[in-house]
């Protein structure tokens, strides 16, 4: 099984409660029994199954403080968040660290691998934070106007400013697939014709981490762009180049990019 990193940094693929590791009722009963041997408290066999925090379905930790926050912010895991060491994350992850400090009884190597290692997630988060996150975004063009979305005030990254439509690439996802998925999720249309026109870098990496923003010009799509209620944008609108240049934008290179498109150029902007 490939590495599967949870939102908090836990290694889901190593967790004995992860659905992909459970093949029978016997696996659930063994997981319940061995977990109690290590930590001293019960998780009943019927609760020993979790689809992973990035998926909808059954979760072992039903009151996880991290999952709703990370999903709302749209980060791949907490290592991508500018508040990476927040109280919610500490509440979620401190238990294993404190347990190891206070534990007096021996833990077998096998049980350590099964019930301690999956939850030692600090290094995984730091590794994630040191990596460059790839993002794909599309500029939908209709005549001489471009579609932009105003990021919701609740967004962690650049709240309340105007941005192109897009987001993070998921693990193993190509830029093009991420572009199509993000546009579908955010404004409800299916991009059918597009071309890569620019690659921009994050302007405040110290705060937000390293990001590469791959920008595409989208010229054909199926459907009518809409702004869903409770979505990632508070509104969407079409703008001409002059109008767009006057907006509070998510990236300082956007006006230059819009201008190049307005005069028919499609050169790479770095």
- Per domain, the residue ranges of the chain are 12-129, 132-262
Following DSSP, what letter does each residue of the chain receive, concatenated? ----B-TTS-BGGG-TTBGGG--SHHHHHHHHHHHHHHHSS---GGG--B--TTSSS--S-TT-SSHHHHHHHT-SSGGGSTTTT-HHHHHHHHHHHHHHHH--S---HHHHHHHTGGG--HHHHHHHHHSPEEEEEEEEEETTEEEEEEEPTT-SSSTTSEE-EEEEPPTT--HHHHHHHHHHHHHS-EEEEEEEEEEEE-S-HHHH--EEEEEEEEEEEES-----TTSSEEEEEEE-HHHHHTS-BS-TTHHHHHHHHHTT------
pLDDT at 131: 72
- Token representation of residue 100: 């190891």
- Cα separation, 269 vs 199, in Å, equals 6
Residue tagged 């059918």 (tokens): 192
Residue 152 burial class via C-beta count within 10 angstroms: exposed 0-12, middle 13-18, buried 19 and up: middle
**Rounded to an integer, what distance in angstroms lies between the CA atom of residue 190 and that of residue 192?**
6
The pLDDT of residue 204: 77
Q: Are 16 and 114 in contact (CB under 8 A)?
A: yes
0.85 exceeded by pTM? no
Q: What is the pLDDT along the chain (270 residues), one digit of tens a residue?
A: 567 778 888 888 889 999 989 999 999 999 999 999 999 888 999 998 899 887 888 998 888 998 898 887 766 678 767 677 788 888 888 888 888 888 888 899 999 999 998 888 766 665 666 677 889 999 999 988 999 999 988 776 788 999 999 998 987 899 999 999 999 999 999 999 999 999 998 887 656 667 889 999 999 999 999 988 667 889 999 999 889 989 999 999 999 999 888 877 554 444
Q: Tell me which CATH code domain 132-262 carries.
A: 3.90.79.10
Distance CA 88, CA 63 (A): 11
């Amino acid at each position: 099984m490939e590495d599967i990193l949870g939102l908090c940094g836990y290694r889901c693929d190593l967790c004995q409660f992860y659905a992909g590791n459970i093949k029978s009722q016997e696996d659930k009963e063994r997981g319940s029994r061995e977990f109690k041997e290590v930590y001293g408290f019960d998780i009943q066999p019927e609760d020993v199954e979790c689809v992973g925090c990035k998926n909808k379905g059954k979760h072992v930790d039903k009151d996880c403080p991290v999952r709703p926050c990370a999903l709302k912010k749209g980060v791949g895991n907490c290592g991508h968040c500018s508040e990476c060491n927040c109280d919610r994350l500490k509440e979620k992850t401190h238990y294993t660290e404190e347990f190891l400090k206070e534990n007096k009884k021996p833990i077998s190597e096998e049980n350590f691998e099964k019930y301690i290692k999956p939850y030692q997630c600090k290094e995984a988060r730091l590794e994630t934070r040191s990596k460059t996150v790839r993002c794909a975004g599309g500029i939908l063009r209709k005549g001489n106007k471009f579609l932009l979305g105003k990021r919701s005030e609740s967004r962690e990254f650049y709240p309340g400013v105007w941005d192109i439509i897009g987001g993070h690439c998921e693990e193993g996802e190509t830029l093009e697939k991420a572009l199509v998925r993000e546009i579908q999720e955010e404004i409800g249309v299916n991009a059918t014709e597009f071309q890569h026109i620019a690659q921009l870098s994050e302007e405040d990496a110290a705060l937000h981490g390293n990001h590469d923003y791959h920008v595409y010009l989208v010229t054909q799509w199926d459907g009518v762009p809409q702004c869903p209620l409770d979505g990632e944008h508070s509104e969407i609108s079409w703008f001409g180049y002059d109008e767009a240049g006057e907006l509070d934008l998510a990236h300082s290179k956007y006006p230059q990019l819009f201008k190049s498109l307005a005069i028919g150029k499609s050169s790479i902007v770095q």
